[in-house]
Amino acid sequence: MMLSECNRELQARFAVEEAVDIHRRLAGADPAAHLPRLAQALYALSASKYDMHDDMSEVLNTLSESMVIYQHLTAADPETFADTAREVRATFAELLPEAQGL
């Protein structure tokens, strides 16, 4: 991988981490308005962690947090969030054996 590609990945990672921090604070003040964006940002962060070969427990913890939020969102509005919630669960199920060393 070229240095420029690594630098872009790092920049993207920092941007996603910043988005998670911002949406986490905003969701604390107004969950209905900001939890969907927090869940989305966490899902993106889990992908970035995976792509950058972070520890699998960190990948799964971030993905799990996104999954829990999507479960709550789906309970309130299944039409809007059910497909994404399924996608996040499927990703978790796909990565779990890798984390367990299977």
Asked if 81 and 42 count as a contact pair (C-beta separation under 8 A), the reply is no
User: What is the structure's pLDDT at 7?
Assistant: 76
Ranges of beta strands (E only) in 1-102 are: none
Instruction: Output the pLDDT for position 3.
Output: 45
Residue 73 has which token pair? Answer: 């969102």
Distance between CA atoms of residues 60 and 8, nearest Å: 23
Mind listing the pLDDT tens digit for each residue in 49-98? 999 999 999 999 999 999 999 999 999 999 999 999 999 999 999 999 98
Domain boundaries in the chain?
Answer: 31-102
Q: What is the pLDDT of residues 5-30, one digit of tens each?
A: 667 888 889 999 999 999 999 999 99
Residues 6+ apart with CB under 8 A from 71: 85
Token pair of 98 as six digits: 């890798």
